Amino acid sequence: MRKYIVVASLAAAALATPALAQQRAPFTGVHVEGLAGWDRTQANGGHKDGVAYGVGAGFDFQAGRAVFGVEGEASDASTNECVSATVVAGDRLCAKAGRDLYVGGRIGALVGPATLVYAKAGYTNARYNLTYTEPTGVSNFKLHDNLDGVRVGAGVEQAVGRNAYVKAEYRYSNYEQGFDRHQVVAGFGFRF
């Protein structure tokens, strides 16, 4: 009798293995996403708010309840600030946050069957544009500078259906030359 139970258990396990192989962990694979949210740039004690928007992509690997991933992002923002009468009457000096490129990694833990909480860190490079105009036009100029920095953040991601997900994330970026940035973004993506 014991022999039959062992044989039946082995047969059941062999038949169940293909079904298990077809079930994919919900946070494994290549993903692409769209992002939008709040952006605040700060420099020299001042700050300005705007809207951040962009696209991201990456690859995640789920091992049990842990998730490890690499990701990249290209984004932009509407954040800009202008001041007048800085040198002469009628002049205008404007600073605008430009494109932001990011590459990094993340590590997370499942807190439910379809919910992931994660932390992230990586390298970021942001462009800041500076424009000065004055009434005569003689001293007008446009400059841009690319600033290297470090980004850290945390978020929560919720699987929606088989391949889609939504997420919310806070991130802080610290750039050279005294610039930094706080962002809260929401995202919607697909996993392949």
Residue 174 Rama label (left phi>0; alpha psi -120 to 50; beta): beta
Q: From CA 73, how far away is CA 96, in angstroms rounded? A: 19
Q: Is residue 135 part of a domain?
A: yes
- The per-residue pLDDT for range 155-164, each reduced to its tens digit, is 999 999 889 9
Beta-bridged to residue 103, according to DSSP, are: 72, 123
Q: Is residue 17 part of a domain?
A: no
Residue 64 Rama label (left phi>0; alpha psi -120 to 50; beta): left
User: What pLDDT sits at residue 10?
Assistant: 46
Residue 136's domain is classified under what CATH number?
A: 2.40.160.20
Beta-bridged to residue 35, according to DSSP, are: 54, 187
Q: Higher pLDDT residue, 97 or 31?
A: 31
Q: Is the pLDDT of residue 5 over 70?
A: no
Q: Is residue 180 part of a domain?
A: yes
Q: Is residue 18 part of a domain?
A: no
Q: Is the pLDDT of residue 36 over 50?
A: yes
Residues 6 or more apart in contact with residue 75 via CB below 8 angstroms: 35, 52, 53, 54, 55, 99, 100, 102
Enclosing domain of residue 45: 25-191
Residue with tokens 């995202």: 187
- The per-residue pLDDT for range 74-125, each reduced to its tens digit, is 999 998 877 777 777 888 888 788 899 999 999 999 999 999 999 999 999 9
- How many domains are there within the chain? 1
Contact 151, 171 (CB under 8 A): yes
Residue 50's pLDDT band (cuts 50, 70, 90): very high
Per DSSP, the three-state class of 12 is: helix
Q: Is residue 8 part of a domain?
A: no
Q: Is residue 16 part of a domain?
A: no
For the chain, give the mean pLDDT. Answer: 86
